[in-house]
């Protein structure tokens, strides 16, 4: 498809994590609890009752993890800040010991030539703010801006790539509509209010950044192409709704200050009239956009799925990951091209891409062979090259995730890492996919076109 066979010089090659999924020590050094701490400690809400209390112990073992990034030859690390470490009550008094952790992490990264990319909010709202209504309280835009100001003031001299929010769609859909994620609400009427307040917080966060920061700020959206399951007009309409609900509900207000008209149909009486002045505040100029890409959705009309009265159809000949997501590499280029058509010259980053396949709990002879994950990365990185060949201004790629970690309500039962974590001992073992990714980075993509030596023997009968 493309003429481009190498990633450009200066491309950011990274791996990503988020605070609550890797850090552990959630209440250490004066930190307050987050909604995820509370959620996971409520019986029955996570697989095996798993919590983030220890996770990958990154809070204490970060020097080892920074060394892992360096050994893989990566030049960027995307991580998030736990709001309730910095502001234990969510607002008011700053906890210097919480902030100091991120200070040490940033310095350790820079000492190894690794650029930090910071996400301010990756789902772990301070529990004290949830007690005040959390994302349902309109004041949260100002709470978020105040928090952003504190962190940016402390770190912007060394952190040059900032994101306000990670995946607002998942916060609203998982946290307030379906309830599988914290804070576990199931309420159609709350969902659009939460989305709107998330987007208002994004806008206020960008404004706060402009006041305090001197570098680049953007937002991370999870996007996926929605393809119709058939040419039946009901499936075509469902596909438009699914696309409006998951993709355009976020990208359009951020870039253009409008909501897709389908949302009124999707939410019916639960869709309020939002003031125009809010939308103007949401549409702040941003410096970059992050795209988390995992899969596509082949969509059909489904009256029982509310909203958007659409569900995904399993494809008979496709490979699926352990979370039931179709492996569909071409969708990455498709998504990047679709975003580019709307965002023009805005620099784009793939801020997450990766897969969960069954891996052993313990590394065998110091090895973890994960051929399906290798092929997942191969396909998607080739797709990223295709996008570059089309002219998409793609500036970097972050694998999800550096480490096997606390996969939210799945607990530790789902492994996304390039690096295997033995949760009994905290031993880290780079998987074959980590070695493969390191080869791709070292060769700026050439290794994508060669059989991988660590993979072939394991795949042979």
* Choices 162-170, 283-291, 418-426, 444-452; region in contact with ligand BGC by CB under 6 A: 162-170
167 lies in the binding site for ligand BGC (CB under 6 A): yes
Identify whether the C-beta of residue 203 lies closer than 8 Å to the C-beta of residue 284: yes
* Sites for ligand BGC among residues 229-268 (CB under 6 A): none
With 0-12 / 13-18 / 19 or more C-beta atoms within 10 angstroms meaning exposed / middle / buried, residue 138 is middle
350 DSSP β-pair partners: 291, 397
Is 352 catalytic? The answer is yes
416 lies in the binding site for ligand BGC (CB under 6 A): yes
User: Of these, 197, 239, 292, 309, which contacts ligand BGC (CB under 6 A)?
Assistant: 292
Q: Give whichever of 119 and 197 is closer to ligand BGC, judged by the CB atom.
A: 119
> CA gyration radius for the chain?
21
**Taking the complex as a whole, how short is the minimal distance between the CB of residue 105 and ligand BGC, in angstroms?**
18
Q: Give whichever of 85 and 240 is closer to ligand BGC, judged by the CB atom.
A: 85
Q: Give whichever of 279 and 332 is closer to ligand BGC, judged by the CB atom.
A: 332
Angle at CA of residue 451, ends 447 and 456, nearest 5°: 135
Q: Give whichever of 18 and 197 is closer to ligand BGC, judged by the CB atom.
A: 18
User: Of these, 255, 407, 409, 436, which contacts ligand BGC (CB under 6 A)?
Assistant: 407
**Closest alpha carbon to 64 in 430, 317, 461:** 430
User: Of these, 170, 251, 339, 455, which contacts ligand BGC (CB under 6 A)?
Assistant: 170
Q: Cα–Cα distances in Å, from 77 out to 105, 299, 355, 402, 420?
A: 10, 34, 18, 9, 17
Q: Measured on CA atoms in the order 128, 129, 131, 132, is the torsion positive or negative?
A: positive
Non-local (6+) Cβ contacts of 131 within 8 A are: none
Q: Please state, in angstroms and rounded to a whole number, the distance separating the CA atoms of residues 117 and 323.
A: 27
13 DSSP β-pair partners: 397
User: Of these, 400, 412, 436, 437, which contacts ligand BGC (CB under 6 A)?
Assistant: 400
- Residues 340-359: x where in contact with ligand BGC by CB under 6 A, - otherwise, as a string: ------------x-------
**Taking the complex as a whole, how short is the minimal distance between the CB of residue 274 and ligand BGC, in angstroms?**
25
309 lies in the binding site for ligand BGC (CB under 6 A): no
166 lies in the binding site for ligand BGC (CB under 6 A): yes
Spot the catalytic one: 167, 252, 375, 407: 167
List the alpha helices (DSSP H) in 16-130: 19-22, 35-40, 58-71, 83-86, 96-111, 127-130
Q: Please state, in angstroms and rounded to a whole number, the distance separating the CA atoms of residues 231 and 301.
A: 11
Angle at CA of residue 180, ends 230 and 314, nearest 5°: 25
- Residues 103-122: x where in contact with ligand BGC by CB under 6 A, - otherwise, as a string: --------------------
* Choices 151-159, 164-172, 336-344, 363-371; region in contact with ligand BGC by CB under 6 A: 164-172
Q: Give whichever of 167 and 326 is closer to ligand BGC, judged by the CB atom.
A: 167
Q: Give whichever of 11 and 325 is closer to ligand BGC, judged by the CB atom.
A: 325
* Choices 24-32, 165-173, 201-209, 335-343; region in contact with ligand BGC by CB under 6 A: 165-173
Is 337 catalytic? The answer is no
Spot the catalytic one: 224, 326, 334, 352: 352
List the alpha helices (DSSP H) in 112-256: 127-130, 140-155, 168-172, 190-212, 233-243, 249-256
HSE, side-chain direction, 13 A CA sphere, residue 221: 25
Catalytic residue annotation = 167, 352
Residues in contact with ligand BGC by the rule CB under 6 A: 18, 21, 166-167, 170, 222, 292, 352, 400, 407, 416
């Amino acid at each position: 498809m493309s003429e481009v066979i190498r990633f450009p010089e200066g491309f950011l090659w990274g791996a990503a994590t988020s605070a609550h999924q890797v850090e552990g020590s959630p209440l250490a050094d004066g930190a307050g609890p987050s909604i995820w701490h509370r959620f996971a400690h409520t019986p029955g809400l996570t697989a095996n009752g798993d919590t983030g209390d220890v996770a990958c112990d990154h809070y204490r073992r970060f020097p080892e993890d920074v060394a892992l990034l360096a050994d893989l030859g990566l030049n960027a690390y995307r991580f998030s800040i736990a709001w309730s470490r910095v502001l234990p009550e969510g607002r008011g008094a700053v906890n210097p010991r919480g902030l100091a952790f991120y200070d040490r992490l940033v310095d350790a990264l820079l000492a190894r030539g690794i650029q930090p990319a910071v996400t301010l909010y990756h789902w772990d709202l301070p529990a004290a703010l949830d007690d005040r209504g959390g994302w349902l309280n309109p004041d949260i835009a100002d709470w978020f801006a105040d928090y952003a100001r504190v962190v940016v003031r402390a770190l912007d001299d060394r952190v040059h790539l900032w994101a306000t929010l990670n995946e607002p769609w998942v916060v609203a859909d998982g946290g307030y509509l379906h309830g599988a994620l914290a804070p576990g609400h199931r309420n159609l009427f709350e969902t659009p209010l939460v989305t709107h307040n998330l987007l208002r917080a994004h806008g206020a966060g960008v404004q706060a950044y402009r006041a305090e920061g001197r570098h680049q700020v953007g937002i991370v959206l999870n996007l996926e192409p929605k393809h119709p399951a058939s040419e039946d007009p009901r499936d075509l309409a469902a596909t438009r709704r699914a696309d409006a609900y998951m993709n355009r509900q976020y990208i359009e207000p951020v870039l253009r200050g409008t909501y897709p008209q389908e949302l009124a149909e999707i939410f019916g009486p639960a869709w309020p009239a939002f003031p125009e002045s809010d939308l103007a505040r949401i549409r702040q100029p941003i410096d970059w956009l992050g795209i988390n890409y995992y899969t596509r959705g082949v969509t059909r009309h489904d009256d029982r799925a509310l909203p958007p009265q659409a569900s995904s159809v399993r494809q008979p000949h496709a490979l699926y990951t352990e979370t039931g997501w179709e492996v569909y590499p071409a969708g990455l280029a498709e998504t990047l091209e679709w975003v580019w058509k709307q965002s023009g010259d805005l620099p784009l980053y793939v801020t997450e891409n990766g897969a969960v396949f069954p891996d052993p709990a313990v590394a065998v002879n110091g090895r973890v062979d994960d051929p399906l994950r290798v092929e997942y990365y191969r396909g998607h990185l080739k797709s990223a090259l295709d996008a570059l060949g089309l002219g998409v201004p793609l500036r970097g790629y972050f694998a999800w995730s550096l480490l096997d970690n606390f996969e939210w309500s799945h607990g530790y039962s789902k492994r996304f890492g390039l690096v295997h974590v033995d949760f009994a001992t905290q031993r880290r073992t780079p998987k074959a996919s980590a070695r493969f990714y390191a080869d791709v980075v070292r060769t700026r993509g050439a290794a994508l076109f060669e059989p991988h030596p660590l993979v072939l023997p394991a795949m042979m009968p």
